[in-house]
Structure 1
């Protein structure tokens, strides 16, 4: 094969750099992945960089770069740092042929600062499944977030970007549902248009896995494709446990409730996973040393809960909660008119991002402006200037992910710095990413563009000076307001909108001088967990813990 022929292949490339001793690694990787990846190996840092440049120049797609620390002409970390500037989307793995290297402070610092996706020991046997499980996980995350779509799931036909279409695509991305978009004059587009049987179809069109065509569907229609509709339940169905909201807290309650034998139903207004499902990479969640995307975490939790018998319904929001009395079940009414009844209810609707309330920005939501991380549009920012507004962990994760694609990423915050609102590990990673900058003491006050966002106006909060800057995408992660507007007035809610539980409930609502249990509201059988609860810690692990902890309280209530 001639040198340039490889780069013309459509398969993605795994690039490995190391001394002669790393040959067994190359052999192991080649045997396992050569059917779908092309494995290239180099003996030195210099040759690896030259080979990488040739691959990029030939239009090749590099998925993973593995380097031994002990290269003849430099440290493997130096190669990975330069490789990251050449191919920001490629995953970086340090391959340790000598495990003594794991105690190297430089390697440990690089790992904690987010400059590595993993460091792994070189396989020493014919089947090192721990090694291959790690590599497969890394490649899977790369393929989902960085590679152009190669598999049709849903087929979408539309020439026009609209806020509604952007919202549906974001939900599809968060649910891990593959999709591909086609223009109306494409071969597939024309075929789907003809299938509607009308000369004036309502766009966008969606062709489902079964071949049916939906015209201008809602998120509820998309949710029904995956999970069915609430009316499919028996008319007299009464759940033991109804969970409203499928973020980490709601999913944990579903897993532990269903596994303990409770008939469990979960309803979610958008995508299973909630706000956490938008996270491009959660690195500090227990048990995931290489991190996990919010989508993957939610997907695994949903599958786990389903295996225990949980029923999920997505795409329609709860609009009313009517408490039951004298042993009668509680009733939750949905926006689409469906009604659910349950002996206990866990409220886990979390919080939603605050609106910026700048008219030119609000008018372009879905057209360059996005509330949340919007990982579904990250690939579209390639070579462009992007702004992220917000100083929390979600904003940091979004900025780091976008930096793999965008020319520049600017984090805009009102505070003097990030230290009071963002985890240190994210701040270190941001500081180590060359194309991310932070604009402290700044706010967005205007936006412009013909249809789509093209620029924004920034104002210095101290001096009042304004600056107009180019901006092709604006991600707004401004802090959160609790989703409690649907709750009955009989549930105690704090002035800031969060649900009161346990000792936070006013004493006049206590029974026999005793406060409700820690996660219980003032109404027996109704509980609140996660970000919606007053005093909760706004972290994924904390929400998961509350979701698990509420189940014994539910059992106690049902057994009373």
Structure 2
């Protein structure tokens, strides 16, 4: 079979999109999957249906084809032994975007999503080749619209523009058809007879038809949004999937924390809508905001971050001391989490124009993507704003529009815009700068949308009105923090979140802070366990680089917060009488009796023994030695060890608060054995950090010895 041509920019990379793995590669992958057999013609994957994961072929061939809701099926490629089936959707278990059928008898290694992620981390060089292929395949699907819904409606219709923006910003393929061009699009309108407000029609891959759906409705129909309740108690829940939030997610998940990211619209935030970022370190030719944040989005999924987009947070609920925080979503669901990171950013300010809402999405826009640029071809547009985002958008639109008028309230751009952008705007023959000017009125109709814009020159009071169908607003920034109202998180006068030293003393005079026994961390808010980063944080520098830096820096504070919370929980737990506690058996070890404490970080015990715990009965360990630093309670005791835990994979020994979940989850990525055993005298349990299950009354393993083989006391870092 001769493979059909790929899009021109991908044809030269065909060998990277569809690599052939050798016998050694296949052997390395065996432990991550299960061998299955398929009959001739049997379906391995169906577009729009959940996929079991990635298929690695050892015998036979599989034909891949792309299909849409209109019934079209187009061959993509036929793969054989040594090749694998899958794209980035398989990292998170989302529905397949293509059909796959066996050609003859097929034998394949099926690697489920969580084991695929483990493979990518454990086998770095092999994982790099697989990851590159998965990403390139998604790029190919995006460029052809394969596997996604079909939008049927007028190109400038507000509903179509809105849904196109949602799908493109979330990296999901789609096709858009104009019924005015006739053909199948016109036939669909005749068949369903939608009213104007019901456009566009959305034909999903399974053939179902939606009429101008909400983004959340479409996301559920496509399998992009998790269904049902959030059963997991997360270590970290990040609200906002912009650069700051994605940075936190990547670093936290890569260090073993269980992370959920919520965003009400799309990943990328304001930066994701930027046409080109040229002053971000490491990209000398520049990079689009969408490309930069899409890489972070895929990277987060590689490390196991769970994404719920679109999912809007209604409120934050504070629980009793020792209990998890709770986020209430607008759809009625609840997320329980040990820490919250506020990365919800800021939104562009809406000017005080009486009829602004009438034209939003129908001529008035707050971002400039290729979708909006397409509508501006050969026309005159107006853009309002004097910051970097405004400058980047103006340069981008100038490549499509006949003329771009940039209205700026200030007297000069240098105070608010990077010099390279100022120079580029001044050099463009299609860009006209209009200083000390603001928009005062809009005119148009419901049927035709925006038709004219009036603005006023502030020093002279002179007003002008021009026929303009497209107005782009990039002015100011209002914090997206209204969901924090009433929860105890202190805001500044503008609504941005106060953190660290900016809190002062008054917000900290609470029982919650007294229970922690510490001061807030740099990015921590007035509510223990709730942090704020990026544009939502008071006095932060509103730049992509700063947001990413804060997102990575807060992870160390999250670990410290979880450690502090676990220590506070132990201090508050009931303890046996001092007379029943064991006496020290070594000058550098202070033993302490058990009191039925929960495993580290307050994880909940479950009765069923998971497969990881079943193997502990046969595990052998050597005499233990300390491998890391202890918790605050250890430090208070002059450096003596109090609480000891051993990793049953490598023998690492550390304090119970020395990030055991991070350490064990790293091993889970590599060996699927994420178990920690307690060596604290009087305690006898092992804990699986992946399955959240407990095994009590562990048999004494041959070769174990009490924790007395220390050569020196622990010292504070």
Aligned residue for 1:83?
none
TM-score scaled to structure 1, two decimals? 0.70
Q: Does 1:351 align with 2:337?
A: no
SS where residue 449 of structure 2 aligns? coil
Does the 8 Å contact 2:156/2:375 carry over to 1? no
Alpha-carbon distance, 1:226 to partner: 5.9
8 Å CA contact 1:393–1:422 kept in 2: the answer is: yes
Deviations, residues 4-27 of structure 1 (Å, cap 9, x unaligned): xxxxxx99999xxxxxxxxxxxxx
Q: Cα distance, 1:184 vs. partner?
A: 3.8
2:462 matches 1:458: no
Is the 1:154–1:206 contact (alpha carbons within 8 Å) kept by the matching residues of 2? yes
Change (3 A) 1:515 1:301: same
Give me the whole-angstrom Cα distance separating, in 2, the residues matched to 1:211 and 1:381.
Answer: 33
* Paired residue secondary structure (1:156): strand
1:182 to partner: Cα distance: 1.8
1:223: Cα distance to partner? 3.3
Q: Secondary structure at the match of 1:454?
A: strand
State the match for 1:412 in structure 2: 407
Pair 159,384 (structure 1): closer, same or farther in 2 beyond 3 Å: closer
| Cα 1:226–1:268 shift into 2, 3 Å | farther
CA displacement, residues 186-205 of structure 1 (integer Å, 9 cap, x when unaligned): 332256558xx856584321
2:219 equivalent in structure 1: 223
In structure 2, which of residues 367, 382, 385 is the aligned counterpart of residue 372 of structure 1?
Answer: 367
1:230 CA displacement: 4.2
Aligned to 1:109: none
Q: CA deviation at 1:252?
A: 0.3
* Partner Cα distance (2:319, 2:206) in 1: 41
Answering whether residue 552 of structure 2 is matched by residue 548 of structure 1, we say: yes
Cα separation, 2, equivalents of 1:192 and 1:276: 37
Aligned length: 425
Q: Equivalent residues in 2 for 1:96-107 (5 A)?
A: none
Distance 1:165 1:379, change over 3 A: closer
2:484 counterpart (479, 484, 487): 487
Question: Cα–Cα, structure 1 residues 11 and 166, in superposed 2: closer, same or farther, change >3 Å?
Answer: same
The one-character-per-residue Cα deviations of 1:312-341 (angstroms, maximum 9, x if unpaired) are 011231110002221111110111112111
Is residue 2:301 matched to residue 1:297? no
Shift, 1:212, TM fit: 3.4
* More off after superposition, 344-353 vs 359-368: 359-368
CA contact (8 A) 2:199 2:212 kept: yes
Residue 222 of structure 1, CA deviation: 3.2
Superimposed CA distance per residue, residues 467-513 of structure 1 (whole angstroms, 9 cap, x where no aligned partner)? 11121211001111001111042111111100000001131233579
In 1, are the aligned partners of 2:353 and 2:441 still within 8 Å (CA)?
A: yes
The 5 A counterparts of 1:532-543 are 532-543=536-547
Partner of 1:559: 563
Cα 1:231/1:488, change in 2 over 3 Å? farther
Aligned to 1:441: 436
Aligned to 1:187: 183
Q: 1:227 to 1:499 in 2, by over 3 A?
A: farther
* 1:82 alignment partner in structure 2: none
Structure 1 227/552 Cα, relative in aligned 2: closer, same or farther at 3 Å?
farther
Report the more deviating stretch, 178-187 or 290-299.
178-187
Structure 1 counterpart of 2:501: 503
Please say if 1:385 is aligned against 2:380.
yes
The two structures, once aligned, show a CA RMSD in angstroms of 3.0
Alpha-carbon distance in 1 for matches of 2:320, 2:452 = 55
Would the aligned equivalents of 2:498 and 2:525 in 1 still touch at CA under 8 Å? yes
Seen in structure 2, the aligned counterparts of structure 1 residues 327 and 452 have a Cα distance that, compared at 3 Å, is same
> 3-state SS of the aligned residue for 1:341?
strand
Could you tell me how far apart the structure 1 residues matched to 2:404 and 2:155 are? 26
Partners in 1 of 2:457 and 2:505 — Cα distance? Answer: 45
Structure 1 gaps, min length 5: 1-9, 15-28, 35-139
- CA–CA separation in structure 1 for the residues paired with 2:236 and 2:491: 22
Instruction: Encode CA deviations 1:404-436: one digit per residue, 9 max, x unaligned.
Output: 000001110110111111011111111121111
Give the Cα–Cα distance (whole angstroms) in 2 for the partners of residues 434 and 13 of structure 1: 32
Q: Secondary structure at the match of 1:503?
A: helix
Q: Does 1:285 align with 2:280?
A: yes
2: CA distance between counterparts of 1:506 and 1:233?
38
Deviation at 1:225, TM superposition (A): 5.2
- Post-superposition shift, 1:515? 4.3
8 A contact 1:173–1:375 mirrored in 2:
no
- Mapped to 1, the partners of 2:415 and 2:6 lie a distance apart of 44
Alignment partner, residue 470 of structure 1: 467
Residue in 2 that maps onto 1:78:
none
Distance 1:301 1:223 in 2: 20
Query: Does the 8 Å CA contact 2:159/2:212 hold for their aligned counterparts?
Result: no
Higher relative contact order (CA 8 A, sep 6+): 1
Give the whole-Å Cα distance in 1 for the aligned partners of 2:404 and 2:7.
Answer: 26
TM-fit CA distance, 1:454: 2.2
Give the Cα separation in 2 of the matches to 1:13 and 1:310.
Answer: 33
Deviations 1:245-285 (Å, cap 9, x if unpaired)?
00000000000011011111001000111111110111111
Q: Deviations over 1:54-76 (max 9, x none)?
A: xxxxxxxxxxxxxxxxxxxxxxx
Residues 384-412 of structure 1, C-alpha deviation per residue, up to 9 Å, x if partnerless? 10111000110000000000000001110
Q: Which residue of 2 aligns with 1:204?
A: 200
Contact residue 221 and residue 315 of structure 1 kept, 8 A: no
Q: After TM superposition, list the pairs within 5 Å mapping 1:49-448 onto structure 2.
A: 151=145, 153-159=148-154, 161-184=156-179, 186-190=182-186, 192=188, 202-224=198-220, 228-232=224-228, 236-448=231-443
Contact 1:399–1:409 at 8 Å: present in 2 too?
yes
In the superposition, relative to structure 1, how do residues 520 and 227 fare at CA in structure 2: closer, same or farther (>3 Å)? farther
Q: Given the superposition, is the C-alpha separation of residues 227 and 508 from structure 1 closer, same or farther in structure 2, using an over 3 Å criterion?
A: farther
Give 3-state SS (helix, strand or coil) of 2:275's partner. coil
Give the whole-Å Cα distance in 1 for the aligned partners of 2:174 and 2:323.
44
SS, match of residue 450 in structure 2: coil
- Supply the distance in 2 between the matched residues of 1:326 and 1:536 (Cα, whole angstroms): 30
Is this contact kept in 2: 1:219–1:316, CA < 8 A?
no
Give the distance between the partners of 2:277 and 2:206, measured in 1 at CA: 34
Q: TM-score, normalised to structure 2's length?
A: 0.56
